[in-house]
């Protein structure tokens, strides 16, 4: 099945041309200026981002823990589009457009187990976990569930390319990005010691969520840098100081920071989370934090990792969803409950401390007295790296999507 939908590419040349001079200034070699205010405020720029920085790359949609067991479903509004994460019978994560192929009814409204059938509440068409249309009751008239002119194989759910890595379900909306392993070869190589790590998610004490009055990019940008550490995170900075941090800059892909001083949590009775086995000595006291473009913030440590998926809600708001993962099933033991809660609280405090900054920068974007600001040469290269990537991706414009892929094909 193919669709003639053009992905909304018509009219984008106007949007790009009005922003182009500012985007070119950001992307220019040696430039130190950031993205202009309209990129944080205006619907046109936001629409352009949707079809470029989000649609052309592997973006974070949700978590493997959202669909832990075969049959689990998790609907998500992604940039205004209803999508559905499903774990199929073979245990593979799949993502579908969350819409019935008959009359376009929203298919699944609530997260939860599905018993293997995705049934539309309108006329009761039913799809299996692989997206195939399996039942079309009364399609040929009362009590006639087939019709010779209707081939259900042509009306499976429209599927989105999906991949699982480090506890995140990643999607490529336009279907044309290189394979995930190719597109993200550099981070996979950098963190190869964490490849295939067993990930243990213990439920609500492994989750956090924040609603933010800011453009999604400011959340990502703030995560790229350690510059703000002494003033925004004084507790963190008291043991992992700004001078213990180094920049991570991988043009066109990810940026962030690492620290050489990571102290694993210790409970009053001397308990620690088990470390991932086989790690090299750099992870004894090291940890790294990167924004993988466009919208996922990752952190890895010897004893746990986390991912934050930033879900934009228009140009001026976003939601952050965080999942923590440990590397050993032993942490499920009730003896670890307090330590798990302490770890969750510790990260929550860090991320809450950032809220005034990302919301304050959004308010500042309403000022004609701000013109994109300035990236300083030592502390801001990771943030600039993200801006250059975003500007270049928007300037390239959208790609026509490869056409809707029906699951039955
Ligand atoms: S819209 Fe879903 S069965 Fe009719
Ligand atoms: Fe911060």
Please give the chain's pLDDT, 409 residues, in tens: 333 334 445 566 777 788 999 999 999 999 999 999 999 999 999 999 999 999 999 999 999 999 999 999 999 999 999 999 999 999 999 999 999 999 999 999 999 999 999 999 999 999 999 999 999 999 999 999 999 999 999 999 999 999 999 999 999 999 999 999 999 999 999 999 999 899 999 999 999 999 999 999 999 999 999 999 999 999 988 888 999 999 999 999 999 999 999 999 999 889 999 999 999 999 999 999 999 999 999 999 999 999 999 999 999 999 999 999 999 999 999 999 999 999 999 999 999 999 999 999 999 999 999 999 999 999 999 999 999 999 999 999 998 877 666 664 4
Do 133 and 79 lie in one domain? The reply is: yes
Q: Does residue 121 line the site of ligand 1, with CB under 6 A?
A: no
Q: Does residue 102 line the site of ligand 1, with CB under 6 A?
A: yes
Do 160 and 189 lie in one domain? The reply is: no
Do 333 and 207 lie in one domain? The reply is: yes
Do 237 and 336 lie in one domain? The reply is: yes
Do 201 and 263 lie in one domain? The reply is: yes
358 phi and psi angles, rounded to 5 deg: -70, -35
Domain count, the chain: 2
Sheet with 126-128: strands ordered across? 117-119, 126-128, 133-135
CATH number of the domain bearing residue 213? 3.90.380.10
Do 380 and 262 lie in one domain? The reply is: yes
CATH number of the domain bearing residue 65? 2.102.10.10
The CA-based dihedral angle spanning residues 173, 82, 105, 144, taken in that order and rounded to the nearest 10 degrees: 50
Do 353 and 228 lie in one domain? The reply is: yes
The DSSP element (H or E) to which 95 belongs, if any, is strand 93-97
Residue 275 lies in a domain: yes
CA distance 144 to 154: 19
Do 127 and 68 lie in one domain? The reply is: yes
**Nearest protein CA to atom 4 of ligand 1, as residue:** 123
> The pTM is what?
0.94
Do 223 and 112 lie in one domain? The reply is: no
Place of tokens 């909306």: 173
CA distance 322 to 347: 10
Cβ atoms of 33 and 371 within 8 Å: the answer is yes
Q: C-alpha angle 83/86/88, rounded to 5°?
A: 145
Do 206 and 288 lie in one domain? The reply is: yes
User: CA distances (Å), 276 to each of 300, 302, 403, in order?
Assistant: 11, 6, 42
| Token pair in block for residue 375 | 């990236």
Do 331 and 213 lie in one domain? The reply is: yes
Domain that holds residue 219: 184-390
101, 117, 119, 125: residue to mutate for ligand 1 pocket, most atoms within 8 A of CB = 125
Q: Does residue 105 line the site of ligand 1, with CB under 6 A?
A: yes
Residue 28 lies in a domain: no
Q: Does residue 103 line the site of ligand 1, with CB under 6 A?
A: yes
């Amino acid at each position: 099945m193919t669709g003639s939908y053009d992905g909304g590419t018509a009219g984008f040349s106007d949007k790009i041309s009005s922003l182009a001079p500012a985007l070119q200034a950001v992307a220019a070699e040696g430039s130190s200026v950031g993205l202009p205010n309209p990129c944080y405020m205006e619907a046109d720029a936001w629409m352009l981002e949707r079809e470029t920085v989000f649609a052309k790359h592997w973006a974070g949609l949700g978590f493997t823990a959202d669909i832990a067991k075969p049959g689990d479903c998790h609907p998500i509004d992604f940039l205004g589009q209803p999508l559905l994460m499903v774990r199929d019978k073979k245990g593979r994560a799949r993502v579908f457009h969350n819409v019935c192929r008959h009359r376009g009814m929203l298919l699944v409204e609530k997260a939860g187990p599905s018993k293997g059938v995705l049934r539309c509440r309108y006329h009761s068409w039913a799809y299996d976990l692989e997206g195939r249309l399996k039942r079309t009751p009364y399609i040929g008239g009362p009590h006639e569930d087939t019709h010779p002119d209707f081939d259900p194989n042509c009306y499976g759910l429209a599927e989105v390319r999906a991949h699982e890595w480090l506890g995140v379900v990643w999607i490529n909306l336009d279907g044309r990005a290189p394979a995930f392993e190719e597109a993200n070869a550099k981070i996979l190589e950098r963190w190869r010691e964490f490849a295939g790590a067993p990930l243990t998610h213990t439920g609500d004490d492994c989750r956090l969520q924040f609603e933010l009055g800011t453009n999604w990019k400011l959340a990502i940008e703030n995560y790229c840098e350690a510059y703000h550490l002494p003033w925004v995170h004084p507790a963190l900075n008291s043991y992992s100081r700004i001078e213990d941090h180094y920049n991570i800059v991988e043009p066109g892909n990810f940026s962030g920071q690492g620290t050489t001083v990571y102290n694993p949590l210790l409970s009053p009775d001397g308990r620690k989370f088990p470390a991932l086995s086989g790690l090299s000595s750099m992870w004894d006291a090291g940890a790294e934090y990167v924004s993988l473009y466009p919208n996922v913030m990752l952190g890895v440590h010897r004893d746990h990792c986390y991912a934050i998926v930033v879900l934009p809600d228009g140009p001026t708001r976003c939601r952050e969803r965080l999942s923590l993962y440990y590397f050993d099933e032993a942490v499920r033991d009730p003896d670890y409950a307090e330590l798990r809660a302490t770890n969750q609280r510790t990260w929550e405090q860090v991320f809450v401390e950032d809220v005034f900054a990302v919301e304050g920068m959004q308010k500042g974007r309403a000022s004609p007295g701000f013109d994109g600001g300035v990236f300083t040469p030592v502390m801001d290269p990771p943030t600039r790296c993200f801006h250059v990537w975003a500007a270049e991706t928007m300037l390239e414009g959208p790609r026509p999507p490869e056409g809707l892929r029906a699951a039955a094909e």
